[in-house]
Each structure stands twice: as structure tokens, then as C-alpha cells.
Amino acid sequence: MSESRAAERPPFDRRRGSLALLLWATAAIAPAGAETPEADPFDAIPDLEALVDAVNDGGLRFLPPGSAAGVHAHRNRIVLDSAGLSDGWVRLEQCHENIDAVPAAQVVYHADRIRDLTVLGTENIGQAWVEGPTVQLKDVRERATLCVSGESRALTQLAPGAYRLRNGPHMRKFLDGYYPMRVLLDIAYPPETLRLARFDPARQAGFEVATEPGRIRVDAEFEGRLFTCFDFCAATDPDCVLPEEPCAP
């Protein structure tokens, strides 16, 4: 999906800073801060100091399968259709699971790359509502889930008859660094119109890719910033030549 960006926030101390920013695929989610100066809601977050101490400051690192069990999971259902080939918009259903418990947070999308944003449902979240290119959350409790739908401008034309679906950056980032997360993609496309020509990253431990005509499924467990690219050629063009374009910026 399109690149995320976070809303600006006032300065945080180290404990607050470590919880100030969470970025997931097309969205950024950030705690909105204390509701009153007398009561510090971050004191109620269990094992906060352990989370801060365990932060990873490195780049992208895939994890052994099963390593990210129980942490934040980001599930995406993406549908490419014929209209998207002309305007770049794809249909998106997105669920965030195991969201970190905070008193208030917001999921922030790139304003130019999201439209028709709708909250489909929540669990263990007191309130959730759409406000411009954001979803505002209040009273986020343990094992919280948020599901939304919308359209994302994620498809670009590489050459005549050649297209790229680019997703990312997927990341679970606190101000101090990156934490483990799991991203699942389920991508549907018209096999009579398109064929998958290549994808990046390559299959490896922690980045599983299953393909069949008209469908791509990805299961990624990692730390750091993950971009994924899926390049398509016209199904009727067996000699399609794709330009060399890096996936990550």
C-alpha cells in the first residue's frame, strides 16, 4: 500500500517515546497521550520497561516462522480489478490484531492514497471512528482488533501492459526502534488480464509466498521496514519486459 505517515505529537520522555509511534503498512497508529496530567496512563501498560529494553534498532530482519506468534498482526485483503489498471486504486480490507493497549490512539493513512475509509468492526476498543484520513481509537485494551475497508492507490504502471502493486512500509515502530510483527497479504487479481511476473523480496524463511493464477498469499514475520512489490504483465503478452525498478526506496 502507500507509504505511511504519522501525525505530529508533542515531545515525549523515553518511556512515552517508545510508545509514540506504530506504523503498519498503509497506516500509522500513535497513542494520543495522557488524558489528564495527574494520571499517567502509560504506567498501566504491563512490562513497559522490558519492551523498551528489548527494542531492535537494526534494519529489516526476517524471523523464523512462528516467532511473531501473539504479537501485532496485520491482515490485508487486496483486490485488483480492471478499473484499478487505469486509475491505480485497489480495494482493501485491513485488520489489525493484538494492538498495543493504550488509552487513545489513531491510525493515520496517507491522505492522497486512501479513500472511502470505513470502520468494519472492533474488539476490545471503547470507541473507533473515521476522521478524515484517520481512524481515531479510544480505550484500547488487551487483544484489541480493528478492521477497516477502503480503497488504496497502490498500483502503478511500469511500462505499457506492465504494473506494480507496491505495499509498505510495513513496520511496527516505536521511536526507539522496531519490534516484531506479522503481516499477511491475500491479493486477488484477474488472471485473464494479468499474470504475476516477479516479486520482491524473494521467498525465504520468515517470508512465505504462495501463488496460483489470480491469487497471491504472503505470510511475513520480521522486524524493521518491509516493502513488498508484485509485478504483473498482461496475460496475453508472453514476452513482456519489465524495467528494473527497486522495490524499497
What is the per-residue pLDDT across 1-23, written as a single tens digit (0 to 9) for each?
A: 433 333 333 333 333 332 323 33
Per-residue pLDDT tens digits for 91-119: 999 999 998 888 998 888 889 999 999 99
Per-residue pLDDT tens digits for 40-88: 444 444 555 555 555 555 589 999 998 888 888 999 999 999 899 999 9
Distance separating the N- and C-terminal Cα atoms of the chain: 14
Per-residue pLDDT tens digits for 183-212: 999 999 999 999 999 999 999 999 999 999
246 lies in some domain: no
In order, the DSSP letters of 82-114 are HHHHHH-EEEEEEEEEEEPPEEEEEEEE-TTSE
Nearest one of 96, 139, 102, 143 to 121, comparing CA atoms: 96
Angle at 200 between CA 196 and CA 205, to 5 degrees: 110
249 lies in some domain: no
Domain with residue 125: its CATH number is: 2.60.40
131 lies in some domain: yes
64 lies in some domain: yes
**Which three-class secondary structure state does DSSP give residue 78?**
strand
C-beta separation of 84 from 92 below 8 A = no
2 lies in some domain: no
Count of domains forming the chain: 1
Nearest one of 32, 13, 34 to 22, comparing CA atoms: 32
Average pLDDT over residues 209-238: 96
The residues, any chain, with a CB within 8 Å of residue 244's CB and separated by 6 or more, are: none
247 lies in some domain: no
Strands 73-79 and 181-188: parallel
Q: For residue 184, give its domain range.
A: 14-234
240 lies in some domain: no
CA distance 124 to 101: 9
Q: Compute CA distances 217 → 58, 87, 210, whole Å.
A: 27, 24, 5
